[in-house]
Amino acid sequence: SVPPAQFADGYKYDVNSRAKDSAANEEMAYSTRTFIVDQTSAASKVSFPAHLGYLGSATQILGTATDQVEEVQKAPLIPGGFCDPACPAGRTFESGLDPSSVTVALFRWSDAKYWDGAAFTQSAPVWSTATFVGDSSGTWTYALAPGALVDSSSYSVSARVNRDRAGNIQTV
């Protein structure tokens, strides 16, 4: 048994099991399982509209999200490198993100209301699902109905990764 604290974040581990009977006969073929420890939250940010920007109109909100925090490393660390020869080339991802991982909350300052997916009616944030395209890093889009944003009003947009494939949640 290995204590959980012995598994470091961002590393890839192989577990091999082999049986031995009471007569000291060892199993010839053995089983291997590989897993990655991901304890780091992913991150999302809004790229459109620009912070403190001005718009004539908008029918979508755009952004990026990533779970690409550290190199995936195979334990023990190979001296002089991040990954042993068996690692896939260029692999720098954590557990990754699902297409529905990113959520967006839109706030209107004039009446202190949040968008509920159809109108600004809510007093508390409503986290609506954006469409994420990528694996561990990519872009997301949240569609708005034409006319959802009105002239002479100020808005704030918050985005978060609701959950990466390892279950880590971004706090906003």
Give the global pTM: 0.73
Sign of CA dihedral 171, 126, 163, 67: negative
Q: How many CA atoms lie within 13 A of 94 on its CB side?
A: 26
Burial of 61 (0-12, 13-18, 19+ CB in 10 A): buried
25-45 pLDDT, tens digit per residue, is: 888 877 888 887 777 778 889
**CA–CA distance, 132 with 102 (Å, rounded to integer):** 6
Q: How many CA atoms lie within 13 A of 31 on its CB side?
A: 3
Q: How confident is the model at residue 62 (pLDDT cuts 50, 70, 90)?
A: very high
